[in-house]
């Protein structure tokens, strides 16, 4: 369907908003009145600018506080409307949004509201304009979509229809099935917005926390399907009031918005996109380091062995069990230290993974491929992490591992025969910090592009601010898991630490081996274990082991989670985890202790 966006959803000047919307592929815009009033461009110039960009002005909005007023006010309101119709003619807009009145002057009388809306529609018709009447969730007397429709139906004018807005409908938990009782041609406009589920005043919720469909907790796809079944064929228009988007780059927000609409059409059964290929696990995690010594020393102490060297690039492969880490010493910044630059995702069909990603506007990473090297396709995630689609060691398919020549000499640290591993077998998850103003974008990206399912998002206390985290995961017994987070730092900049979590079947055994090998582990305060003893009836012996090795603990039903951390090198640290009994989380309740311990360790190091 045709895709539009309200200018209120994007940052910048009106002209910047139009440019961003067009660049992302939108076909129309809703012009928000304040954006026009604040613009130095005349309505004619806005119209010409939009036309040059291939954008139609689908809606002029909003006109407020019109209906059900005493006679004296009615005349004034009609005059006000006339002057807006003139502006609309200059803009080339043919539909005006009128939102339900919030004015104390409005009278609680549906008959009067209908009568006056009929008058307004008559005036509009003479200007070639249609009126789309929308119930604001906080309207004074009319606040639900079905009520607004009853009034529109009673007003019975061809130039009057209704505007449905998913936020107003779903925020009030109205039953959207009633949309199908409205004749499609009387739904003049459809505005789409999602929002995180929050218990708060609905006006504040609407004006500050709306987000693009797929980024919140409302069933926008279900609502859209009802509107289409009712016969609605007009634009799908995003109207998102959001404090973060107001500050973010408009071009980037517009792309995020378009990705949201593409995924929404798919969810509502209106369009078929290339199927997502849900990654089944991690092929590798790639760390870049100009000086790889500290990293090599840490990986070696974790029991990893250097098993391969890339045939064409300064990249080493380190392995333990099925956990693979690449160390790339080319072109990275010496000052920032080691960082996680890429992850390999196991895909049953890498080419199909890329097709899906491209369709959803993920930037494809240009790839220089040496002669005879396996094809390796990557897209960039919202934080810049490269995501490679891999099919590792599958007979009959090229594998990225073929590009590595065996490495490692007996007797050197990290050589395959240096005494064996420490029980670490796979990458359990990776944690990727996100820029704070792209957090919602990241959630939608991983969900739509990779077909991962988001968990509930968590807001946790960090000693110096708020730590926000959202996990996304695939399916199956050992699903691919990625934790997205935003953390503050004392300098006010987001903490950019990334981590790789490695799984063991016996965490105490692994911890003991690591201690023997001198692996630097993050110390956990004794108070934590006193509290753990009070909260859970853990056997004294077990509690003592946890305390001894700095292991954190969480429980969910019958499932248990044990985990501890290494120190941080550059931007990166490792976590060791053990899951039992179907535990599906990440030990979020321990994050506050972990973050405090990391801040303390950092201060200690300074
Ligand atoms: O918050 C508002 O005032 C407002 C205005 C116009 C809309 O379409 C809307 O949904 C909300
Ligand atoms: Mg609206």
pLDDT digits (tens, 9 = 90+) for 519-534: 999 999 999 999 999 9
pLDDT at 163: 99
Q: Is the ipTM of this complex over 0.95?
A: yes
- 194 with 215: CB under 8 angstroms? yes
Question: Which pLDDT score is estimated for 136?
Answer: 98
pLDDT of residue 165: 98
From the options 3.40.50.300, 3.30.565.10, 3.40.1440.10, 3.20.20.150, give the CATH code of 3-267.
3.20.20.150
Q: How far is the CA of 360 from the centre of ligand 2 (A)?
A: 26
List, in order, residues 6 or more apart from 59 with CB less than 8 Å away.
4, 6, 30, 31, 93, 95, 96, 97, 132, 189, 237
User: What pLDDT is recorded for position 327?
Assistant: 96
Please report the DSSP string for 452-489 in residue order.
PEE---EEEEETTEEEEEEEEE--SSS--EEEEEE---
**Given this model, what pLDDT does residue 411 score?**
46
pTM above 0.90, yes or no: yes
Question: What are the φ/ψ torsions at residue 536 (nearest 5 degrees)?
Answer: -125, 145
CATH 3.20.20.150 positions along the chain are 3-267
Taking the C-alpha atoms of residue 191 and residue 6, their distance in angstroms, rounded to an integer, is: 9
C-alpha 265, offset from chain centre: 17
CB 257 within 8 A of CB 9: yes
- pLDDT value for 333: 66
Nearest Cα to Cα of residue 376 among 385, 360, 384, 387:
387
Rounded to the nearest integer, the mean pLDDT of the chain is 93
Ligand nearest to the CA of 31: 1
Instruction: Give the count of beta carbons closer than 10 Å to the beta carbon of residue 576.
Output: 26
**Residue whose C-alpha is closest to residue 178's, from 235, 139, 241, 135:** 135
Minimum-distance ligand 1 atom for the alpha carbon of 97: 8
Distances (CA, A) of 58 to 88, 233, 234, 306: 11, 13, 10, 60
How far does the centroid of ligand 2 lie from the alpha carbon of residue 4, in Å? 13
Among 378-392, 436-450, 459-473, the minimum mean pLDDT is found in: 459-473
Identify the CA nearest to 485 among candidates 435, 531, 532, 447.
435
CATH number of 281-602: 3.10.180.10
The residue nearest atom 11 of ligand 1, judged by CA position, is 136
Binding site residue list for a divalent metal cation: 134, 165, 191, 239
Does 99 contact ligand 1 (Cβ within 6 A)?
Answer: yes
Quick check: 606 pLDDT over 60?
no
Give the distance between the most distant pair of CA atoms in the chain. 95
Instruction: Check the CA dihedral 374-328-586-257 and report its sign.
Output: negative
CA distance 287 to 340: 4
What is the share, in percent, of the chain residues with pLDDT greater than 70?
Answer: 95
3-state secondary structure of 319: strand
* Res. 460 pLDDT band, cuts 50 70 90: confident
Contacts of 77 (CB under 8 A, 6+ apart): 65, 66, 69, 116, 120
Two structure tokens written together for 163: 């505007």
**More confidently predicted of 571 and 109:** 109
| Whether residue 239 has its Cβ less than 6 Å from ligand 1 | yes
Helix, strand, coil share (%) of the chain residues, nearest 5: 35, 25, 40
In this prediction, residue 410 carries a pLDDT of: 46
User: If you average pLDDT over residues 313-337, what whole number do you get?
Assistant: 88
Instruction: Give how far Cα 22 sits from Cα of 14, 18, 289, 341, Å.
Output: 12, 6, 39, 31
**Tens digit of each residue's pLDDT (9 = 90 or more) over 278-296:** 999 999 999 999 999 999 9
Secondary structure string (H, E, C) spanning 109-154: CHHHHHHHHHHHHHHHHHCCCEEEEECCCCCCCCCCHHHHHHHHHH
What residues are paired with 482 via a beta bridge?
430, 472
Does the structure show a pLDDT above 50 at 77?
yes
Question: In testing the pocket of ligand 1, which one of 206, 235, 240 has its CB within 8 Å of the most ligand atoms?
Answer: 206
Instruction: Quickly state the pLDDT bin for 448 (edges 50, 70, 90).
Output: very high
Q: Sign of the C-alpha dihedral, residues 127, 132, 133, 136?
A: negative
Q: Is the CB of 171 under 6 A from ligand 1?
A: no
Cα Rg, the chain, nearest whole Å: 28
Q: Can you say which residues are annotated as belonging to the binding site for Mg(2+)? A: 429, 499, 575
What's the pLDDT band for 234 if we cut at 50, 70, 90? very high
Q: Which residue among 62, 98, 131, 188 has the greatest number of ligand 1 atoms within 8 angstroms of its CB, and so is best to mutate?
A: 62
Residue 305, sorted as left (phi over 0), alpha (psi -120 to 50) or beta, turns out to be beta
408-412 LR contacts (CB < 8 Å, sep 24+)? 408/305, 408/306, 408/307
Mean pLDDT for the stretch of residues 490-497? 56
Cβ atoms of residues 50 and 26 within 8 Å: no
pLDDT score, position 11: 97
Select from 142, 140, 260, 139 the least CA-distant residue to 193. 260
Q: Looking at per-residue confidence, does 147 or 487 come out higher?
A: 147
Phi, psi of 289 (to 5 degrees): -155, 125
CA triple 127-132-136, angle to 5 deg: 140
Tell me which of 132, 239, 242, 246 to substitute to probe ligand 1's pocket, judged by most ligand atoms within 8 Å of the beta carbon.
239
pLDDT of residue 337: 81
How far is the centre of ligand 1, averaged over its atoms, from the C-alpha of 137 (Å)? 9
Q: Which residue numbers belong to the known binding site? A: 134, 165, 191, 239, 429, 499, 575
Instruction: Give 97 Cα–ligand 1 centroid separation in angstroms.
Output: 9
The number of C-alpha atoms within 13 Å of 182 and in the hemisphere containing its C-beta is 29
- The ligand that comes nearest to the alpha carbon of residue 102 is 1
Closest atom of ligand 1 relative to the 191 alpha carbon: 8
Nearest to 284, CA basis, from 323, 329, 248, 313: 323
Both tokens of 92, joined, read 């080339």
**At CB < 8 A and 24+ separation, what contacts does 505-508 make?**
505/423, 505/425, 505/578, 506/423, 506/578, 507/549, 507/551, 507/562, 507/563, 507/564, 507/576, 507/577, 507/578, 508/545, 508/549, 508/551
Ligand 1 atom closest to Cα of 62?
A: 6
Q: What is the pLDDT of residue 457?
A: 85
CATH 3.10.180.10 residue ranges of the chain are 281-602
Q: What is the tens place of the pLDDT at every residue in 549-566?
A: 999 999 999 999 999 999
Whether 207 shows a pLDDT value over 90: the answer reads: yes
pLDDT digits (tens, 9 = 90+) for 21-38: 999 999 999 999 999 999
């Amino acid at each position: 369907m045709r895709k539009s966006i309200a200018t209120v959803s994007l940052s910048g000047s009106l002209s910047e908003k139009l440019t961003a919307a067009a660049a992302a592929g939108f076909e129309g815009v809703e012009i928000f009145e304040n954006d026009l009033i604040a613009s130095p461009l005349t309505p004619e110039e806005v119209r010409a600018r939009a036309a040059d960009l291939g954008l139609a002005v689908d809606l002029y909005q909003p006109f407020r506080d019109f209906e059900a007023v005493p006679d004296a006010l009615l005349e004034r309101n009609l005059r006000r409307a006339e002057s807006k119709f003139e502006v609309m003619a200059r803009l080339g807009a043919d539909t005006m949004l009128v939102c339900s009145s919030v004015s104390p002057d409005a009278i609680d009388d549906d008959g009067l509201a209908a009568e006056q809306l009929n008058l307004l529609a008559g005036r509009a018709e003479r200007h070639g304009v249609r009126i789309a009447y929308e119930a604001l969730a906080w309207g004074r007397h009319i606040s639900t979509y079905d009520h607004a429709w009853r009034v529109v139906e009673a007003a019975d004018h061809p130039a009057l229809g209704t505007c449905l807005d998913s936020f107003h409908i779903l925020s009030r938990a109205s039953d959207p099935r009633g949309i199908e009782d409205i004749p499609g041609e009387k739904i003049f406009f459809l505005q789409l917005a999602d929002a995180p589920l929050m218990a708060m005043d609905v006006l504040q919720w609407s004006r500050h926390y709306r987000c693009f469909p797929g980024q919140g907790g409302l069933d926008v796809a279900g609502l859209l399907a009802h509107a289409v079944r009712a016969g609605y064929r007009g634009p799908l228009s995003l109207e998102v009031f959001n404090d973060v988007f107001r500050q973010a780059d408009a071009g980037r927000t517009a792309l995020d918005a378009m990705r949201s609409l593409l995924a929404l059409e798919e969810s509502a059964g209106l369009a078929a996109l290339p199927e997502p290929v849900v990654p089944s696990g991690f092929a590798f995690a790639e760390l870049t380091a100009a000086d790889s010594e500290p990293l090599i020393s840490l990986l070696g102490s974790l029991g990893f062995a250097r098993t391969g060297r890339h045939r064409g690039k300064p990249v080493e492969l380190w392995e333990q069990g099925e956990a693979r880490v690449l160390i790339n010493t080319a072109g990275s910044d010496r000052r920032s230290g080691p960082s996680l630059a890429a992850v390999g995702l196991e895909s049953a069909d890498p080419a199909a993974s890329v097709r899906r990603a491209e369709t959803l506007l993920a930037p494809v990473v240009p790839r220089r491929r040496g002669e005879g090297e396996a094809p390796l396709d990557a897209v960039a995630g919202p934080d810049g992490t490269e995501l490679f689609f891999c099919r590792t060691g599958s007979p009959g398919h090229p594998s990225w591992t073929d590009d590595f020549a065996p490495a490692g000499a007996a007797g050197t640290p990290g050589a395959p025969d240096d005494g064996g591993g420490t029980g670490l077998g796979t990458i359990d998850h990776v944690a990727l910090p996100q820029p704070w103003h792209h957090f919602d974008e990241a959630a939608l990206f991983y969900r739509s592009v990779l077909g991962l399912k988001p968990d509930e998002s968590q807001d946790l206390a960090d000693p110096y601010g708020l730590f926000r985290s959202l996990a996304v995961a695939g399916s199956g017994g050992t699903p691919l898991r990625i934790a997205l987070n935003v953390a503050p730092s004392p300098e006010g900049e987001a903490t950019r630490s990334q981590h790789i979590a490695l799984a063991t079947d016996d965490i105490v055994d692994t911890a003991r081996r690591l201690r023997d090998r001198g692996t630097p582990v993050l110390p956990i305060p004794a108070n934590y274990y006193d509290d753990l003893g009070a909260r859970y009836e853990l056997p004294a012996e077990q509690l003592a082991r946890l305390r001894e090795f700095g292991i954190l603990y969480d429980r969910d039903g019958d499932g248990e989670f044990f985990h501890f951390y290494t120190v941080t090198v550059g931007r990166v640290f490792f976590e060791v985890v053990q899951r039992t009994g179907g535990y599906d989380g990440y030990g979020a309740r321990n994050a506050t202790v972990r973050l405090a311990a990391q801040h303390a360790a950092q201060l200690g190091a300074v």
